[in-house]
Amino acid sequence: MDHKIAGALKILTHTDKEACETVKVTENEPVSDKKRLFIESYGCQMNFSDSEIVASIMREAGFATTSEVNDADLIFLNTCSIRENAEQKVRTRLKQLNAVKKRKPGMLIGVLGCMAERLKTKFLEEEKMVDIVTGPDAYRDLPKLVEEAGTGQKAVNVFLSREETYADISPVRLNSNGITALVSIMRGCDNMCSFCVVPYTRGRERSRDPRSIIQEATDLFHQGYREVTLLGQNVDSYKWKSAEVNGVSEEMNFARLLENVARISPELRIRFSTSHPKDITDEVLFTIKKYDNICNYIHLPAQSGNSRILSLMNRTYDREWYLGRIDSIRAILGEDCGISHDMISGFCSETEEEHQDSLSLMAYARFDFGYMFSYSERPGTPAAKKYKDDISPEVKQRRLAEIIELQQKISLERNLRAVGKIHRVLIEGTSKRSEEHFSGRNDQNKVVIFPRENFIAGTYVDVLVTECSTATLKGHVVSKVLA
């Protein structure tokens, strides 16, 4: 078959190079008698999910969302702190918003999330236009904080909780296509990777009551959603235990939760993120295999392919363990199972040989795509305290370029495997490049583009893939899947 290869790798371009720099804003709600809330969210899916919780809390307090900064009475920036340039983007944005605030003196500006938690009251000293600083576990307190800030006082709550999961709050689905939704199953992280700020900005792990998760996913299905992504910093460590009744308590791990959500309906697709290599079990893999509606896709961050570097990172697994998990995924779920990764170049003291180990791990695992970064030292982390950031920016960038180049090659090879085959795709909406084409994802989380014809978003279609790029698959529908 003559395969047509189109386009170039879409991830990690100069202008859109990092997942943590993704930005989403609220939409206009069609009401005229309420105060207006504008939320700009930076970073990971967890942040976007949190913004939906914030919107729900503030709706109860009498606010409706807007997509126009100039119309807002209250602006929240929900921030990311995982890399320095993500924080710099927020500071640049605040300077722009200060000009808006000067034209509208009654406007309040709040900084939420990880950056707020990391800097706490110091943020108010550095950014004078900010009125409210709130950490990820204090969102229930936002109406009171807004009221306090309205009197001219600075308002702060950065308390980290060991219990808060927001399980009882029904999120307002922001930027929703009405088809796919995020469902948070746990909060915080106990892993203490030496390079990472998350345990300090999001607190310790706590798992949400599974009954509330299953109910939320069920409600979404009845509302017409056809895909949910179960979210956690480390979903595989999900563990919930009920209170004892007559000496008996109920327990649930991630594999059982996954199964319970999958049983809601075979028409509801299930994805999840993120998995940790030390925790993902064969039980989870066999659960994926058992249910056709659990997608054959796993995001399994590696961070490095060298055991010494992994030890310095406190990842609690070595190269051999990681490759063993890759082997299990391939053995249980097959060679076509989609696997993506995170990889860091230039971590403290990384040698050229150790960098080569990362490349060889990628070559062995055959990742479908990846999120690839050069090391960025974060203040307050164990790595910043214990290790010298001794790899030059030039070497970091050169190593990163080699990692990206290899991933481009592997991504293309993996996508070529899809050409000439039929893939089930959930139609999510119009393609970004053409109103005449629809876009959706297949089982392996790959974007598939095809002529829209008379098909409807939110339905499943079988698409014959006829060409590919390193980032997308293209083809045409051969049949609509009947419910």
Spatial separation of the C-alpha atoms in residues 124 and 143, rounded to whole Å: 19
**Reading across the β-sheet that carries 227-231, which strands appear in turn?**
180-184, 227-231, 269-273
- 189 has binding-site annotation: yes
- 20 has binding-site annotation: no
- 193 has binding-site annotation: yes
- 295 has binding-site annotation: no
Amino acid at 292: D
In Å, the largest CA–CA distance within the chain is 70
- 468 has binding-site annotation: no
- 348 has binding-site annotation: no
Spatial separation of the C-alpha atoms in residues 332 and 289, rounded to whole Å: 7
Indicate the angle between helix axes 352-365 and 393-416, nearest 10 degrees: 10
Q: What tokens appear for 460 in the block?
A: 């499943």
Size of the chain, expressed as the number of residues it contains: 483
**Annotated binding residues for [4Fe-4S] cluster:** 44, 80, 114, 189, 193, 196
**Annotated binding residues:** 44, 80, 114, 189, 193, 196
